Structure 1
Amino acid sequence: MTLVQEHVAEQHHHHRDVTGGWLRPAVFGVMDGLVSNAALIAGVVGGGASATTVTIAGLAGLAAGAFSMATGEYTSVVSQTEMTKAEIAVERREIDRHPEAEKEELALLYQSRGLSPDLSRQVAEELHKNGEIAWRVHAREELGVDPDDLPSPWVAAGSSFLAFALGALIPLLPFLFGFGSITAAVVLTALALFGSGALVARITTRHPLFGGARQLVLGAAAAAVTYGIGHLVGTAIG
Structure 2
Amino acid sequence: MKPSRAAEHHRSDRIGWLRAAVLGANDGIVSTASLVLGVAAAGAEHRTILLTSVSGLIAGAMSMAAGEFVSVHSQADTESADLAQERAEIRRDPVGEQQELAGIYVGRGLDPALAAQVSSQFMARDALGAHARDELGMSDTTAARPLQAAWASAASFSVGAALPIAVVALAPPAQLIAWVSVTALVFLASLGGISAQVGGAPIAAGTWRVAFWGSAAMAVTAAAGAVFGAVA
Report the TM-score when normalising by structure 2. Answer: 0.91
For structure 1, the residue ranges without an aligned partner over 5 or more in a row are none
1:44 and 2:39 correspond: yes
Change (3 A) 1:19 1:195: closer
1:6-37 CA-partner distances (Å, limit 9, x unpaired): xx22x422223436621111000001111111
Equivalent residues of 1:194, 1:212 under 8 A apart: yes
Distance 2:204 2:98 in 1: 50
The alpha-carbon deviation at position 209 of structure 1 amounts to 3.0
> What is the match of residue 71 of structure 2?
76
Distance 2:42 2:88 in 1: 61
> What is the match of residue 163 of structure 1?
156
The alpha-carbon deviation at position 103 of structure 1 amounts to 0.8
Distance 2:208 2:141 in 1: 38
Equivalent residues of 2:123, 2:130 under 8 A apart: no
Task: Pick one of 73, 79, 88 that aligns with 2:83.
Answer: 88
Q: Percent identity?
A: 37
Distance 1:116 1:41 in 2: 63
> What is the match of residue 4 of structure 1?
2
Distance 1:207 1:71 in 2: 31
Letter in 2 for 1:46: A
Change (3 A) 1:172 1:44: same
> What is the match of residue 60 of structure 1?
55
Change (3 A) 1:213 1:148: closer
The alpha-carbon deviation at position 183 of structure 1 amounts to 2.7
> What is the match of residue 185 of structure 1?
180
> What is the match of residue 147 of structure 2?
154
Aligned counterparts, 1:1-238, within 5 A: 4-5=2-3, 8-9=4-5, 11-18=6-13, 21-130=16-125, 133-146=126-139, 150-177=143-170, 179-180=172-173, 181-234=176-229
For structure 2, the residue ranges without an aligned partner over 5 or more in a row are none
1:24-52 CA-partner distances (Å, limit 9, x unpaired): 11000001111111111111011111111
Distance 2:193 2:117 in 1: 49
Aligned length, in residue pairs: 229
Distance 2:168 2:226 in 1: 19
User: How large is the RMSD of aligned CA atoms in angstroms?
Assistant: 2.0
Change (3 A) 1:221 1:94: same
Letter in 1 for 2:147: W
The alpha-carbon deviation at position 4 of structure 1 amounts to 1.7
Distance 1:231 1:171 in 2: 19
Report the TM-score when normalising by structure 1. Answer: 0.89
Distance 1:104 1:234 in 2: 68
Letter in 2 for 1:224: A
Change (3 A) 1:64 1:93: same
Letter in 2 for 1:143: L
The alpha-carbon deviation at position 231 of structure 1 amounts to 0.6
